[in-house]
Amino acid sequence: MMLTAKDWLEKIRALPLTRRVRIMNVCGGHERSITMAGLRGALPQNVELIPGPGCPVCVCPEEDVYHAIQLAMHAGVILVAFGDMLRVPVNAPKAEPRSLEQAKAAGADIRPISSPQEAVSIARENPERQVVFFVAGFETTTAPVAAMLLEGIPDNLFLLLSCRLTWPAVAMLLDGELPGFDALIAPGHVATVMGPEEWSFVTEQHAIPAAVAGFAPVSLLAAIYSVLRQLLEGECFLDNCYPEVVRPGGNAAAQKQLQQALNVVDANWRGIGIIPASGFALASRFEGHDARKHFGGFEVEGRKRVGEMPPGCDCARVVLGKIYPNECKLFGTACTPRTPVGPCMVSDEGACRIWRASGVKVPSTIE
Amino acid sequence: MCLGIPMQIVAIDGYNARCTAKGVMREVSLFMLQDEPIAVDDFVMVHVGYALQKMSELEARSTWELLDEMLAYDPDMQGT
């Protein structure tokens, strides 16, 4: 018989937990479901759910957003991007646009899209123009970009690629002195594409319990129960609580397409730094579509706070799960979904936006 | 962005499918599922216009209910 969310909650409450357990999730979709369903309030007090690196827009390098703004303002291109990239702020002088949205208001041809296929259509409909697709995303978004490339794209379409792999950020945290969590909820749709096995290093190399979860409260609660039980029994294994779409090995065709279209490279994470083998570059056969190579750089010498978060913004520590969103002093005061300062308040997957939009007022601290 | 939407396939033309979710029609690429047998009426998990994986009708319907709750909860997230 299928267990309901209530059944799982009862099972969790019945566990003989005596110590504090911090469970990290690395997916904005998970964080949204957890917050929306009010899971934090429903769980025993010593079980903490920490939002970790689960927002690709939040870690997209500041330089890349700045580059996109400059291309749109000065290269005469049509710039297309997923909607939430448009409001991400950069550190530009006051007279200059500080986001793609402001560049659009200043006359740049910037168009929000919701699928890589739209980028292809816009390029086909405008053969006399150069079109730049600025894309940040984790594997779930990167695989469709690879599919788009392999299906064939027009000559006038260029990519400004800021895609990232999810697991290397978790590996970096676990290799650090204070990982800051005792168990992991692994991302459901990343595992759908890449296979759950990608996360076995968490249980096998670090003896940290882990479970792949879907986005319904029932799946998240099953995963929370699984990792708590693993902790209590002292035996770690990678559980799959999202078998609906997460199959052993993942989507093999999609992984092959990723390998054919893109190379894995060291990559910069905004406010965090370089994480080895955590990003993607176009494979040599697609180099002609690389916006960085085709248009060159636009970085101005002497620009202040290059690569950093905006002044006073604690998004980098929020992304790493070192503090809760409400521990940032700008949260809900200077920084709100309507007037975002940092990227975590912009993106639908940013923990700050999710907490603020849902009116979370838990005076929580992680330390 | 990683939130997928289950859709039902209405028509297939090569790697392109016409899919529906609660009355909304979308063009969806089946390119990532090219090694899977796919037929009209199948349910797929769609993300940024690409089908990531097949799923059952029961799973699709329970995810739709979840999405409805989310949209009712945060109107700002509609259309994103």
Residue A145 is assigned to a structural domain of this protein: yes
ipTM of this predicted structure:
0.92
CB atoms B2 and A27 under 8 Å: yes
Chains A and B form CB pairs within 8 A to the count of 119
Residue A129 is assigned to a structural domain of this protein: yes
Residue A169 is assigned to a structural domain of this protein: no
pLDDT at B4: 87
pLDDT at A363: 56
CB atoms B33 and A57 under 8 Å: no
Residue A272 is assigned to a structural domain of this protein: yes
Taking the Cβ of residue A35 and every Cβ of chain B, the question of whether any pair is shorter than 8 Å is answered with: no
- Alpha-carbon distance of B46 to A140, in angstroms, equals 10
pLDDT at A195: 98
CB-based contact B51:B27 (threshold 8 Å): no
How many domains does one find in chain A? 1
A282-319 residue pLDDT tens: 999 999 999 999 998 877 778 888 889 999 999 999 99
- For residue A268, the enclosing domain spans 57-162+251-295
Residue A13 is assigned to a structural domain of this protein: no
DSSP per-residue codes, A304-335: TTTTSPPTT--HHHHHTTSS-GGGSTTBTTTB
- Alpha-carbon distance of A132 to A135, in angstroms, equals 9
- Tell me the CATH number at A154: 3.40.50.11740
Give the nearest chain B residue to A243 (CA atoms): B55
CB-based contact A188:A222 (threshold 8 Å): no
Supply the DSSP symbol for A207: -
pLDDT over 60 at B1, yes or no: no
**Over residues A261-289, mean pLDDT:** 97
Residue A225 is assigned to a structural domain of this protein: no
Domains parsed from chain B with CATH numbers: 5-77 (2.30.30.140)
From chain A residues 86-125, the ones with a CB under 8 A of any chain B CB are 114-118
